[in-house]
Amino acid sequence: MKQLRGTPLKRFLRTLPPPPSPTELAIVCQSVGYPVNVGSIFRIADALNAAEVLLTGITPTPPNPTIAKVARDKEQRVPWRYVAQPEDALLHVYAEGGVQ
């Protein structure tokens, strides 16, 4: 079997059904200690089109030069907020209807 490339691949992809409609996604980061990891989370959140990133506990928050460097400024595109207690962050997600 030959790998599809170029025009045959595009034709095959057109035959597939459209992807399901996106759902709201909130990412809760509890006590993520390293700014490098937080920057990575912002990049992933941007790729997934997340509605919000909730940072809790000892998680560093923007503006932070390491977060900005790793996130490649995605922390400016993805809405985020800091909530001191993770329980409050989860209650916020439940109140917004994010978890069913």
3-state secondary structure 44-85: HHHHCCCCEEEEECCCCCCCCHHHHHHHCCHHHCCCEEEECC
Q: What is the mean pLDDT of residues 5-33?
A: 83
| Confidence at 38, pLDDT banded by 50, 70, 90 | very high
Question: Model-level pTM?
Answer: 0.74
- What share of the chain has pLDDT > 90, as a percent? 52
pLDDT confidence tier of residue 2, bands split at 50, 70 and 90:
confident
> Of 3.40.1280.10, 3.40.228.10, 3.40.50.1950, 3.40.50.10190, which CATH number belongs to 22-95?
3.40.1280.10
Structure confidence at residue 20 (pLDDT):
64
> What is the average per-residue pLDDT within 58-74?
95
**Comparison of pLDDT for 22 and 27, the residue scoring more:** 27
